[in-house]
Every structure is written in structure tokens, then in C-alpha cells.
Amino acid sequence: MANPVADIQIHAALLDDYLYIQDQPVVPGPGRFVAVQDTAGQAPVTHLFALDSNGNLLHFRPDTSSHSGWTVNQVPHRAAGSIEGISALFHKGVLDVLISCVDRGDTVQLLRWAGGDSWGYGYYNSGLSPLMNSSTLGPNRVGLFIDSSGGRYLYGAVEPLTPTSAEVFLGCYDESIGIWCNVSGTESFPNNYGATYWMEEAEGGGVGILNCDADGGLEAWFGSITNAGGPDPSFTHRSNYNVNFGIGSTWRLS
């Protein structure tokens, strides 16, 4: 018989899904259902995050003693309003989760898994305070990203109450002191109001900040990060391009 657990039906097929996803790399990204994978051990370990019908954030992790292969707990947080976006990344056993809400108030919360059912909050320096304390940060404008070398990034675009342009922030995780630090040199990042933002790794190294507006225009800035994973990281612009995916689309490379 299937047992309902937080709106997810536990049945025999779920165990098969669990075995399948153990072998599949999953890319972390903003959403309402997120899977992240830790590959530091001999075998990859996948954790899942989802929202139940009441809007609670649920954390599913592997449990070999469970018939389903999972154990689940509700993640505590201080964010006000309804959770609209979840972004997460796993690196060397460290699991970070960023949640964003649609209502005014504490729009963004950075959480860190402490093992078992325990959770704490992520720490960041004052340079990221305008981002983390903003009440005008949409769910499609903030997230976490990890590159192929293990560099961890936090990004977001803060929008003023008066529709003008967004202010883009970028942070790196400083391994030496255990906090997220703002990256300097990002003043020229694309700042379209109302656009969707995300990060990508650049071919040949480096990272890029991209956004797509409601009219189908894509804007991207690529560059390198100096001292990523340490104190005082900085971004050096290398290239950027604009693409219009509408009728009569144009391509501009600069």
C-alpha cells in the first residue's frame, strides 16, 4: 500500500527512481523541485528539495534503512512569504540552499545543512548585504552556481521599486573563513529590469552572468574571477554579447 508522505506517494517505483538518480549527474538551479548531487565520496549521493501543498520546504536524503530509500524532514527558515524558488549546491559534503519568496520582507534566505535534521544559516560579508536583505528580489533573479573546479557562487539582481534598472551582485564562497564574499568589478553587468538571470561557465574557463528579458533578448557578460574561493575576489570582463530571439533577430558580439 502506498503511504502519503508530504504529498509524495511512496511506492515501489520510487525506490527504482532513487537507484536511477544515484547514477545521474544533476545540475543545480532555481526552481520548486531541485536535485543536487555530492560526488566527493566513492559513490554519488543525491538530495532532493521540494515544496509540499502548504508551501513548506522539504529535504529528502538517502536512507538505506527506509523502504523507499529516502528520509524526509521539513527545513526551518526565517523567510517571510511563500517560497517561489529553490537553488542548491553540494560540494565536498557541504550542502547550501538558497530560497527566495514572492512576498515583501525577508525575500532571500541562505541555509546550510548541518547533517541529519539540523540546519543553520549561511554567512556573508557586508558587500552582499544589499542583495541578501533586499525586499525586491524576484525568484528568477537569484541563485547558486558551482563551476567545474568547485568554485561556488551566489548571484542576484536587485530591482528598485521604480522600474528602471536592476543592480547585479555576485559573491564567491571563501573557504578560508567560511563566508560568502562579494565580487568586485561587477558594476558593468547587464541590468535589465524584469529579466531572468542565471550563471554559466565560460568555455576555456571563467564564468558568465546572463539575462533574458520579456521580449526575448539575451544579454551575457563573460570574464574571469581572480582569487575565487579566497578573500577579495574580483571579476575581469572578457567578452559580452546580445541576442534578440524575436522576429528579425540580430546578433551583436562586442
pLDDT per residue as tens digits for the range 38-61: 887 788 889 999 888 788 899 999
Torsion of CA 63, 179, 106, 112, to 10 degrees: 10
pLDDT exceeds cutoff 90 at 179: yes
Pairing of β 33-38 and β 45-51: antiparallel
Provide φ and ψ at 6, rounded to 5°: 50, 50
pLDDT at 108: 84
Poorest-confidence range of 60-74, 96-110, 141-155?
96-110
Q: In which band, very low, low, confident or very high, does the pLDDT at 26 lie, cut at 50, 70 and 90?
A: very low
How many Cβ atoms sit within 10 Å of the Cβ of residue 187?
A: 9
Judge contact between 33 and 44, C-beta under 8 A.
Answer: no
How many Cβ atoms sit within 10 Å of the Cβ of residue 156?
A: 25
Poorest-confidence range of 93-102, 166-175, 240-249?
240-249
pLDDT at 43: 84
Q: What 8-state DSSP symbol labels residue 139?
A: G
Place of cell 511512496: 10
The arithmetic mean of pLDDT across residues 136-157, rounded, is 84
Give the helix/strand (H/E) hosting 164: none
Poorest-confidence range of 128-132, 195-199, 245-249?
245-249
Provide φ and ψ at 3, rounded to 5°: -110, 120
- Mean pLDDT of all residues belonging to the chain: 77
SS3 163: coil
Q: In which band, very low, low, confident or very high, does the pLDDT at 112 lie, cut at 50, 70 and 90?
A: very high
Rounded to an integer, what distance in angstroms lies between the CA atom of residue 151 and that of residue 233? Answer: 11
pLDDT exceeds cutoff 50 at 5: no
pLDDT exceeds cutoff 70 at 3: no
Which ranges constitute the DSSP H helices of the chain?
12-21, 129-132
Q: What angle do CA 35, 38, 40 make, to 5 degrees?
A: 170
Q: In which band, very low, low, confident or very high, does the pLDDT at 25 lie, cut at 50, 70 and 90?
A: very low
pLDDT at 67: 82
Rounded to an integer, what distance in angstroms lies between the CA atom of residue 47 and that of residue 97? Answer: 11
The arithmetic mean of pLDDT across residues 83-112, rounded, is 83
SS3 115: coil
Provide φ and ψ at 222, rounded to 5°: -120, 150
Provide φ and ψ at 21, rounded to 5°: -70, -20
pLDDT exceeds cutoff 50 at 21: no
Q: In which band, very low, low, confident or very high, does the pLDDT at 83 lie, cut at 50, 70 and 90?
A: confident
Q: Which amino acid is at 14?
A: L
